[in-house]
Amino acid sequence: MLNQQTTLERPTPARQPVRPTPPVASKAFHSSIELMGAPMPFGRNAEIYGENEPAEYVYKVLNGTVRTYKVLNDGRRQIGAFYLAGDVFGLEIGEEHTFSAEAITDCKILVIKRSALIGLATRDNDVARQLWAMTAAELQRAQDHIMLLIKTAQERVAGFLLEMAKRSAAAAEVDLPMSRQDIADYLGLTIETVSRTLTQLEKGAAIAVPSSRRIVLRNRAALTRLNA
Amino acid sequence: MLNQQTTLERPTPARQPVRPTPPVASKAFHSSIELMGAPMPFGRNAEIYGENEPAEYVYKVLNGTVRTYKVLNDGRRQIGAFYLAGDVFGLEIGEEHTFSAEAITDCKILVIKRSALIGLATRDNDVARQLWAMTAAELQRAQDHIMLLIKTAQERVAGFLLEMAKRSAAAAEVDLPMSRQDIADYLGLTIETVSRTLTQLEKGAAIAVPSSRRIVLRNRAALTRLNA
DNA sequence: CGACCATTTGATATGGATCAAGCGATGTGG
DNA sequence: CCACATCGCTTGATCCATATCAAATGGTCG
C-alpha cells in the first residue's frame, strides 16, 4: 500500500495545472497539517491505499489527481470521487479505509499520520471541528453524487462538467485528467455513452471538445438547465 | 410519479425546556442528549423540516419511521435515507438542512437544540467525537447508497431488503413501514419495477410476501448473492 | 356496500448497454 | 525517420432492462 511507486511506471509527462485550494478547512488548520506530513510522489496508476486496509494515514493532494473507488465482485467499478490539488482524502473515523485510492496522473501527495491528527484534535477544538467538517464535506459530496446517479446520461455528464469546472482554475475550460473510463465509472455509465453524450452536447453547442481531454463550456446556461 | 403527500400540520418545535448543560462531561452520549431534547409527536406524512431551512435542531427517532428526501425541479424525488427508532437524523455542520424530512408513520421524535449539542462538544471531547462519528456514519450510509444505485433492479431490491432486515429486530422478517413509492424513490426505480422484482424474488423462493408490507427472507444466501 | 388507495400485472416504448468496427494520437522498434 | 502496434476514444448496429402507459385487483375505512 504505502510502499511508494509500485507502478509499472509509464513515463508520463506530468504536466499538472495548478489548482486553487478549495475552502474545505481553515488556513490555520491546513498550515498545521502541512507540518505533520511528508510529501510523497506517486506514479500514474499507482495504488495509494486499498479498501479495508488500516487507515493509518490521511492524504492531501499537492499536485496531480487521485481517484477513490470500489470494485464489486463481478468487476464493476464505481469511482467514489476525484481529488485535485488541495483536496484531502482518506480520512476515516474507523480503523480501515472504505475505498481504494489510486493516482490518476503522477502526483505529489502529503501523507499525514492519522494518529497525530487525532491526537491534536483531542487537544484542540478547532482541529476537532475541522476533522468533522471534512467528513461533512465528504458527506455532502456523496449526497450530490447520489442525486447525479438518478439522472439521465445527459444530465450526469452536464453535472460532471459543471462540477469539474467549478473546481478548476479556468472556469470556462476544463482540463480532464481522467480517462473516459474513469468518467464512466464515476457517473455509472459506459464509456460509449459518455462519449456519445459529449458529442451530443457538442452538436448542441453547449460545449466544444478541442481535444478529448479538454472541454470548453460554451453555454453554461444550457448545461445548468440539464443539471435539473 | 410522486405520491401526493397530504402534508398535514407543520408542528413547530417551538420552545424547549432548555436546562443549563451540566458542567460534568457525560460518558454516555445518548443518555446525555436524551436530557437535552423534548419528545414531540409527528403525524403520518407530516413535514419535520424542509431542505434549506435553518438547521436549528437535531432529531432522534423514538418510534415510527422517517424519510429524508430531495425533489429535483422536474418532480423526481430521491429518498436519502429511512430512519427507524433509535436513529439520529438532521445533524448538519452547516447552517441549513440539506434534505427535507417527513414522518412516514406516526412518530415520536426527540428534538434537540443543535446549539446546545455543539456547545457541549466544545467542552467535551467525547461529545465532539460522537458528532463526528454520526456524520461519518451518515457518510458510510451515503456511500453504500451510491453502490446500490449502480446495480440492477434485483440487486437493489435484494440489498434494500437485507439492509432493512439488519436494522429490524426480527432478522428473518421485515415489516416495511414505507410504501412502494418510497422504496422506489430510495432505489432509483419505479413502483412497477419494485413490485415486479419482489414478485420475481418470491417466485424464485428467495422471499415470501404474506402481505404487501411484510417480507419474509426465505433464502438469505440467494439475496446475499444478488447483493454483489 | 362503495370509494379510494396502494399494489400488482400486462403491453409497449425507449435510453443506455452491449457488441463490433473504425480512427487518430502516441510511442516503439527496425 | 518511418511503419506499425497500441491505446484511448468515437461511431454504428442491435439488444435488453427498466420506464411508461394502462388496466385489474385487493385492502381499508367511511
Q: How far is CA A66 from CA A137, A161, A163, B14, B213, in A?
A: 17, 17, 16, 47, 44
What pLDDT does residue B10 have?
39
Buried b (16+ CB within 10 A) or exposed e, A88-99: bbbbbbeeebbb
When CB atoms are compared, the residue of A92, A94, A188 closest to B149 is A188
Which residues in chain A are contacts of B100 at CB distance < 8 A? none
pTM of the model: 0.89
Q: How far is CA A138 from CA A53, B69, B101, B124, in A?
A: 19, 18, 21, 24
Q: What is the pLDDT at residue B228?
A: 78
pLDDT of A20 higher than 50? no
pLDDT at A213: 96
A7 Cβ within 7 A of any nucleic strand D atom: no
Cα gap B197→A135, rounded to integer Å: 35
For residues A82 and A5, what is the distance between their CA atoms, to the nearest angstrom?
Answer: 20
Q: Is A186 a residue whose pLDDT tops 70?
A: yes
Residues 145-204 of A with CB under 7 A from strand D: 179-181, 191-192, 194-196, 198-199
Give the pLDDT of residue A31: 63
Interface of A with B in 8-47 (CB under 8 A): none
Q: How far is CA B77 from the centre of its chain?
A: 15
Q: How far apart are CA B54 and CA B100, in angstroms?
A: 11
Place of cell 419511521: B65
In angstroms, the Cα distances linking A170 to A32, A38, A83, A164, A201 are: 29, 29, 17, 10, 20
Q: Which of A74, A78, A129 sits opposite B147 (nearest CB)?
A: A78
pLDDT tens sequence for chain B (228 residues)? 333 333 333 334 433 344 444 444 445 566 677 778 999 999 999 999 999 999 999 999 999 999 999 999 999 999 999 999 999 999 999 999 999 999 999 999 999 999 999 999 999 999 999 999 999 999 999 999 999 999 999 999 999 999 999 999 877 899 999 999 999 999 999 999 999 999 999 999 999 999 999 999 999 999 999 987
- Closest chain B residue to the Cα of A189, Cα to Cα: B150
β-bridge mates for residue A103, sequence order: A66
Say if residues B78 and B72 touch (Cβ distance below 8 Å): yes
Distance CA B68, CA B72 (A): 14
Structural domains in chain A plus CATH codes: 20-148 (2.60.120.10), 153-227 (1.10.10.10)
Q: What is the pLDDT of residue B3?
A: 38
Contacting A residues, span 64-83, partner chain B, CB-CB under 8 Å: 70, 72-74, 76, 78, 80
The CA distances from residue B119 to A124, A213, B20, B104, B132, in Å, are 15, 48, 11, 31, 14
Cβ-based burial of A146 (10 A; exposed 0-12, middle 13-18, buried ≥19): buried
Q: What is the pLDDT of residue B23?
A: 40
At B48 the pLDDT is 98
Q: How confident is the model at residue A35 (pLDDT cuts 50, 70, 90)?
A: confident
Pairing verdict, β A173-175 and A214-217? antiparallel
* CB-CB contact of A57 with A157 (8 Å): no
Percent of chain A, pLDDT > 70? 86
Numbers of helices and strands, H then E, in chain A: 7, 11
| Among the listed residues B83, B76, B16, B95, the one whose alpha carbon sits nearest the alpha carbon of residue B48 | B83
How many angstroms separate the CA of residue B199 from the nearest CA in chain A? 24
The answer to whether residues A103 and A62 touch, using CB atoms and an 8 Å cutoff, is no
Residue of B nearest to A138 (CA): B139
A19 and A93 Cβ atoms separated by less than 8 Å: no
Question: Chain B residue with minimal CA distance to A129?
Answer: B128
**What's the confidence (pLDDT) of residue B27?**
53
